[in-house]
Chains A and B, each alone.
Chain A
Amino acid sequence: NAGVTQTPKFQVLKTGQSMTLQCAQDMNHNSMYWYRQDPGMGLRLIYYSASEGTTDKGEVPNGYNVSRLNKREFSLRLESAAPSQTSVYFCASSEVPGRGPEAFFGQGTRLTVV
């Protein structure tokens, strides 16, 4: 039972390049999330998906797109990376709130945009 798996763990991009961060969970959770974590800023919600086939914007969606490919997978795409997107990205999953709010996190992707 792997929980939440993120790939890659580390990435360096040049400004303007694109990339997709992958996330998969094996807990049969309905909800999935993408957060970014910057020093002194805590975890900020980028996008979330309450169920397969739905996605919604969080606090800081600009510059990102997401795809809920199926119940297990939720990907985050940077179309044209900017230095301001240098951060640690966390994917998380949870049951629908109402049956317990616990979110399980992946180990993070450390992204540097130069």
Chain B
Amino acid sequence: QKEVEQDPGPLSVPEGAIVSLNCTYSNSAFQYFMWYRQYSRKGPELLMYTYSSGNKEDGRFTAQVDKSSKYISLFIRDSQPSDSATYLCAMSKDDKIIFGKGTRLHILP
């Protein structure tokens, strides 16, 4: 079993919809939980990170961590065509950062 599992999609939703992206993990030693966004032919860029269980909001984005279930989520409200990208969850322990496979998201105008 991989340490971080993420459905690769693709996921297509209409503009304005709420998007839910999820990851599960197996190692309870992970310390930080992150979401990266990657546009085609570019390097990933950090969207949000959290350190503990609970919710963290930044504009249209909400990150949620449930350590008891080993489950993290990213919600995107009022989705826009410019949100079309690959979203990767990532988790860190000690000095390693481990990524999920990434979910390809398409927002349809």
Chain B's closest residue to A54 (CB) is: B95
Which residue in chain B gives the minimum CB-CB distance to A50?
B95
| Residues of B near any A CB (own CB < 8 A) | 6, 8, 31-32, 34, 41-46, 49, 88, 90, 92-102
Query: A42-B100, A43-B102, A105-B44 provided; 11 other pairs, C-beta below 8 A?
Result: A40-B101, A42-B6, A43-B88, A43-B99, A45-B98, A56-B95, A90-B43, A105-B45, A106-B43, A107-B42, A108-B43
Q: Is the pair B44, A43 in contact by a Cβ cutoff of 8 Å? A: yes
* A45-67 interface (Cβ within 8 A of B): 45, 48, 50, 56, 58-59
Check if A45 sits within 8 Å of B101, measured CB to CB: no
* A111 CB contacts on chain B under 8 angstroms: none
- Tell me how many residues of A have a C-beta within 8 Å of chain B: 29
Please state if A101 and B96 are interface contacts (CB–CB under 8 Å).
no
Give min CB distance, A98 to chain B, whole Å: 8
Interface string of A21-43 (1 = CB under 8 A from B): 00000000001010100001111
